[in-house]
Homo-oligomer: A and B are copies of this chain.
Amino acid sequence: MSKFAPLNALETQALRLSLGLSQAQIAALTKHSEADVVAWEEGTQALPQQAEKLLLELDDVIEMQVLNTCDGIEALFKKEPKRRLAFVVYPSQALYQQYNPEFLSSQPLTELYTTAAWRIKKECKLVLEVDVSLVALDAESYKAYRADNGLSESRESRAKWAADQLK
């Protein structure tokens, strides 16, 4: 049991908004109805402990990704002092699932990944003075870029494509 108090209605809503999710998405993730989610946020029903745990864990996963990515970026800039970076995000759930199957268990929705990317952008600007742009993957443009440059599909190729979009 956490030594912290359970989330109240207001906090439940603030958590959802900070994750960048809709009530429908919270319902799907927690396997409850949308009416339940509305009731949690209106305070007419308590947020079940299991649902609270899941939602707080999603936020923790994001914070961990922010921390790790910003550490990586900081290390990168010791060697390579350009101050502009592209970070690939996924404009649909289908693209997100296709390219990030390994993230689906801990970070199931593309919106969560985009929320993490936004927090990374903010943190990098504030702490490292690095300008991170979120670039939505365009599958057609990415395929053409790979063909033109003889690259196979990889996270690194995606990063190269994204950097190319900033030119």
Q: Bound complex: CA of A59 vs CA of B14, how far in Å? A: 15
Q: Bound complex: CA of A131 vs CA of B119, how far in Å? A: 23
Q: How many residues of A contact B (CB 8 A)?
A: 32
Contact segment of A3-11, A46-54, A96-104: A3-11
0/1 string, A86-102, CB within 8 A of B gives 1: 00010100000000000
0/1 string, A125-141, CB within 8 A of B gives 1: 11000010111100000
**Contact in complex: B131, A5 (CB < 8 Å):** yes
Contact of A84 with B5 at beta-carbon distance under 8 Å, contacts A10-B89, A18-B18 already known: yes
Within 8 A of B (CB), among A65-99: 83-84, 89, 91
Q: Bound complex: CA of A4 vs CA of B125, how far in Å? A: 8
Q: Bound complex: CA of A135 vs CA of B91, how far in Å? A: 36
**Contact in complex: B131, A10 (CB < 8 Å):** no
**Contact in complex: B10, A115 (CB < 8 Å):** no
Closest chain B CB from A115 CB (angstroms): 7
Closest chain B CB from A165 CB (angstroms): 10
**Contact in complex: A134, B84 (CB < 8 Å):** no
Interface residue A121 (Cβ < 8 Å from any Cβ of B): yes
Residue in contact with A134 in the complex, picked from B14, B126, B133, CB distance below 8 Å: B14
Q: Bound complex: CA of A122 vs CA of B17, how far in Å? A: 14
Some 23 contacts from A to B, beta carbons below 8 A apart, are A3-B83, A4-B131, A5-B84, A5-B133, A5-B166, A8-B133, A10-B89, A10-B91, A10-B134, A11-B121, A11-B133, A14-B20, A14-B114, A14-B115, A14-B118, A14-B121, A14-B134, A15-B118, A18-B18, A18-B20, A18-B118, A59-B122, A63-B126
